[in-house]
Amino acid sequence: MRETEAGDRLVASMALVVQKYGGSSVADAHSVKRVAKRIAEAKRAGNDVVVVVSAMGDTTDELLDLAQQITPLPPQRELDILLTAGERISMALLAMAINNLGVKAKSFTGQQAGVITDAVHGRARIVDVVPHRIRETIEKGQVAIVAGFQGVTTETNDVTTLGRGGSDTTAVALAAGLGADVCEIYTDVDGVFTADPRIVPAARKIDRVTYEEMLELAASGAKVLALRSVEYARRYGVPVHVRSSFSAASGTLVTAAEAAHTPVPGVIVTAPQEDAAVEAPIISGVAHDRSESKITVVGVPDVPGTAARIFEVVAGAGANIDMIVQNVSAAATGLTDISFTLPDGDGPGTMAALAGVQAEIGFASLQYDDQIGKLSLVGAGMRSHPGVSARLFGALRDAGINIEMISTSEIRISVVTREDSLDDAVRAVHSAFGLDTTDGEAVVYAGTGR
Amino acid sequence: MRETEAGDRLVASMALVVQKYGGSSVADAHSVKRVAKRIAEAKRAGNDVVVVVSAMGDTTDELLDLAQQITPLPPQRELDILLTAGERISMALLAMAINNLGVKAKSFTGQQAGVITDAVHGRARIVDVVPHRIRETIEKGQVAIVAGFQGVTTETNDVTTLGRGGSDTTAVALAAGLGADVCEIYTDVDGVFTADPRIVPAARKIDRVTYEEMLELAASGAKVLALRSVEYARRYGVPVHVRSSFSAASGTLVTAAEAAHTPVPGVIVTAPQEDAAVEAPIISGVAHDRSESKITVVGVPDVPGTAARIFEVVAGAGANIDMIVQNVSAAATGLTDISFTLPDGDGPGTMAALAGVQAEIGFASLQYDDQIGKLSLVGAGMRSHPGVSARLFGALRDAGINIEMISTSEIRISVVTREDSLDDAVRAVHSAFGLDTTDGEAVVYAGTGR
């Protein structure tokens, strides 16, 4: 954020702002025009504006469906070319709509915007951002529209995609590359909530959250921000403002803890929450996740190296494992059980890979369970407050909910329950930590999960 | 075309073939798979195959409609980016479908294929073809799929489009750049016909036609090949084979007159037509066009420079004029009338431009007539046979059809009639020149006009 000659800081003006609009914000021509109006206003208020846009509405799913009609296993390179057509459409339409409002705008593909990635088609990682043309465009006083989700690999000059949620990462990476004052992620919810309002009607919007807490929330199932974009924002210190494209209200600001008092354009932070930090643990919220399964390897010989070999095989199958629990081995048999959770989609491949080494490792059997739910309590205050886990377990006990697995980090406690108990668990914990809205404020938009 | 070790020429094998498939050939997943099968067969027969593909079915019109929903006057640069999404989708799907048949294929955008154009968005002209990646791909034994209709301008590194019918031009330009043995244009008709079979059920498919005749046919309303692609083919001597994607039969071969006896892969030329050339004028066919209008400038002072000034104004309005007729000036008044035809779409702008200079030029009034039709008889033999025009005018007289304007070239005679007499005129002329099918063969596909 720049200062005026008089030295007064102007909120939401005279800044370099990167705005990202998701597919639901540009679902049809009408929405595109609405978003264009918002962008033109930001530009007319004196900001330099760079916009990252996703494909319209269900375009990506429709293109995936077309590919499935052709072949169940399309080559990833071709799938990437296919999917990037979606952002090409939305970015061109958005640029047209902005020009139509009398504000000059130009659209750029990931390649033209200088988003350089590795060559891993389908889930490429950004290795560099060289936004010459974007800088040139904003220096001319024009709005630059950039296709999210896509980049180019300099090895082969081929088009790549960043995987689901990739547009968030594009926006943060561009904000970092351009030295933007803030990266605004526009979505169809008001911000990050203390729980999914569809499950907990009394859930509250969180005004501020640290990168670390947001990482834990995103990793624990809150879908409002893609995990990788938060990692990127943290690494480069990019302030991220998650807000609704349907309202002018501030949303949730994601920053480093030490930046809590630095003003960010467009964000008005209310005082009460800041004061609260002094006296009590701040619980950011309760996240939940139904998208994981549990695999149990039964009757594993309890000898050194066996667990390592099992997770070598699991890694080889490309699975991202989350929680791991190993039982104490029964002295009589020298056998133990190892359970771990992983995304549903990684289940079949991992089961097949493990079955292939049953003889070599010598375990008794494999169990697969996709009826689990995971609840995570996230908050910076909990490390210094040992009472937090006791209160969590107590709340679940009082609600009659059985805990199957537990894992913790410095700012998170996660428990695995039966999937059909998960909603009750979220409500019980949200209430036990005093997160329910007390001022009777209506929650308009649905949740952290989309 | 290469020869085998034994020196025998193999028809449709061991050649470098560029195939172009239009939107109706890849309208849905089912059609894409059908086309993929055809491409895989050509590859397995031993050919090197490069494929140029248009957007699926009505995709381009749907994208144009989306743009219209945003703004009536979208910036051409953004419109080009938008429209090129269509070929990006079809080329990726086609590459997937071919891979699925066990034949390796890779898709390339116009930029990746090295199609360099000038910077005139919306109707860019190809200035160079640098197909390094395409050559590399076919040398690896893979099929290269290239997005038609699009290119890149090196001045700004922006995406351009070649205008309607641009995919034909992409195919011919690539064939020229790669030194291909033949450029096959696949369409939903069996080839070029002696007239539109929807108007003349007895119309016959033409086996062979020269570039010059094809140019006249294309310019006179035959829509099966884009005019610019024929110009390009003629300049670089690329044999073009127009054929149906629904049948294995030969279609119409377009070559230079002197190349009439050079074998082209995949084309079997029947002898009778070759012999006929010796004895009688070869009439290629009867083309028609309803898409033009006539403007008449009434009461023009017959002084030097006036006509030049009128057509200066017309050119300034961006109109492509076709036929021009100037009446003999009436001696008493010193005034004359000038009529010319132009595409319907250019009418309003040209009328406005002329109205603006009425005082300066001093003409009496302007007349606008969009109810005209143009019939063109095209054939190499007609220059040496003065009886051709006499027979044409006689046929129209016998059918009671009035001729309003006449223009001729070495291999074409065009007449303007009332639009509602045009079908009768086409039938009368087709019959008068003995073009009606005599063997009672059924015509399966509809016409030269789409």
Binary contact (B92, A82; C-beta < 8 A): yes
Q: Which of A63, A91, A96 sits opposite B71 (nearest CB)?
A: A96
Q: Which of B33, B84, B107 sits opposite A78 (nearest CB)?
A: B107
- Order of strands across the sheet with B252-255? B105-108, B143-147, B48-53, B16-21, B182-187, B240-244, B252-255, B208-210
Binary contact (B88, A100; C-beta < 8 A): no
The label of the residue with tokens 């961006």 reads B318
Q: Which chain B residues are closer than 8 Å to A31 by Cβ? A: none
Chain A residues within 8 Å of chain B (Cβ atoms) = 29, 32-33, 63, 66-67, 69-71, 73-75, 77-79, 81-82, 84-86, 88-89, 91-93, 95-97, 99-100, 106-107, 109, 112, 133, 157-159
Binary contact (A106, B29; C-beta < 8 A): no
Residue of B nearest to A78 (CA): B92
Distance, in angstroms, between A94 CA and closest chain B CA?
8
Helix (H) or strand (E) holding A348: helix A347-355
Q: Which residue, A425, A405, A424, is CA-closest to A415?
A: A405
Q: Which residue, B436, B22, B446, is CA-closest to B225?
A: B22
Residue of A nearest to B93 (CA): A67
Confidence of residue B381 (pLDDT cuts 50, 70, 90): low
d(C-alpha A22, C-alpha A35), whole Å: 11
CA A353 to chain centroid? 29
The label of the residue with tokens 């040992």 reads A386
Q: Which of A32, A67, A81 sits opposite B107 (nearest CB)?
A: A81
Cβ contact B420:B169 at 8 Å: no
Residues of chain A with pLDDT under 70: 1-13, 260-261, 268-281, 328-331, 381, 383-384, 386, 438-450
- Order of strands across the sheet with B285-289? B285-289, B372-378, B412-418, B405-409
Binary contact (A88, B81; C-beta < 8 A): yes
Question: Which pLDDT belongs to residue B260?
Answer: 65
The CA-based diameter of chain A, rounded to the nearest angstrom, is 80
d(C-alpha A32, C-alpha A24), whole Å: 10
Q: Which chain A residues are closer than 8 Å to B66 by Cβ? A: 29, 89, 93
Mean pLDDT (chain A) is 87
Window from A37-51, B153-167, B173-187 with minimum mean pLDDT: B153-167
Window from A169-183, A260-274, B92-106, B142-156 with minimum mean pLDDT: A260-274
Distance, in angstroms, between B49 CA and closest chain A CA?
18
The torsion angles phi and psi of B209, rounded to 5 degrees, stand at -150, 150
Window from A234-243, B26-35, B190-199 with minimum mean pLDDT: B190-199
Question: Which pLDDT belongs to residue A441?
Answer: 37
Q: Which residue segments constitute the domains of chain B, with CATH numbers given?
A: 16-189+224-279 (3.40.1160.10), 280-442 (3.30.2130.10)
Q: Which of A89, A99, A106 sits opposite B85 (nearest CB)?
A: A89
Distance, in angstroms, between A119 CA and closest chain B CA?
16
List of residues 6+ apart from B372 with CB closer than 8 A? B292, B293, B294, B341, B404, B416, B417, B418, B419
Residue of A nearest to B56 (CA): A66
Distance, in angstroms, between B12 CA and closest chain A CA?
27
Q: Which residue, A14, A23, A232, is CA-closest to A147?
A: A23
Binary contact (B29, A82; C-beta < 8 A): no
Cβ contact A151:A117 at 8 Å: yes
Question: Which pLDDT belongs to residue A302?
Answer: 81
Mutate which of B31, B73, B88, B155 to disrupt the A interface (most A C-beta within 10 Å)? B88
**Amino acid, single-letter form, for residue A425:** A
Reading the block at residue A271, the tokens are: 């005082």
Q: Which residue, B385, B361, B226, is CA-closest to B304?
A: B361
Task: Write b or e for each residue in A352-379: b if 16 or more Cβ atoms lie within 10 A of its Cβ, otherwise e.
Answer: ebbeeeeeebebeeeeebeebbbbbbbb
d(C-alpha A285, C-alpha A414), whole Å: 12
Distance, in angstroms, between A396 CA and closest chain B CA?
50
Binary contact (A70, B81; C-beta < 8 A): no
Binary contact (A96, B69; C-beta < 8 A): no
Reading the block at residue B44, the tokens are: 């397995």
Residue of A nearest to B36 (CA): A70
State the count of interchain CB pairs (< 8 A) between A and B: 114
Cβ contact B110:B91 at 8 Å: no
Question: Which pLDDT belongs to residue A141?
Answer: 96
Question: Which pLDDT belongs to residue B384?
Answer: 67
CA distances, B120 to each of A407, B149, B150 (Å): 61, 13, 12
Reading the block at residue A380, the tokens are: 């910076």
CA distances, B387 to each of B220, B311, B352, B392, B398 (Å): 21, 33, 42, 9, 16
Confidence of residue B9 (pLDDT cuts 50, 70, 90): very low
The label of the residue with tokens 């040398």 reads B139
Query: Model pTM?
Result: 0.80
Binary contact (B107, A67; C-beta < 8 A): no
pLDDT in tens, B260-303: 667 788 776 554 444 444 445 578 899 999 999 999 999 998 88
Binary contact (B81, A157; C-beta < 8 A): no
- Order of strands across the sheet with A372-378? A285-289, A372-378, A412-418, A405-409
Distance, in angstroms, between B184 CA and closest chain A CA?
24
Distance, in angstroms, between A30 CA and closest chain B CA?
8
**Amino acid, single-letter form, for residue A88:** R
Reading the block at residue A75, the tokens are: 């080559």
Q: Can you state the angle between helices A347-355 and A306-316, rounded to 10 degrees?
A: 130
The label of the residue with tokens 């884009």 reads B226
What SS3 class is residue B415?
A: strand
pLDDT: which is higher, A258 or B45: B45
The torsion angles phi and psi of A202, rounded to 5 degrees, stand at -85, 10
Beta partners for A241? A184, A253
Question: Which pLDDT belongs to residue A269?
Answer: 58
What SS3 class is residue A399?
A: coil
CA angle, A264 as apex, A262 and A268 as ends, to 5°? 95
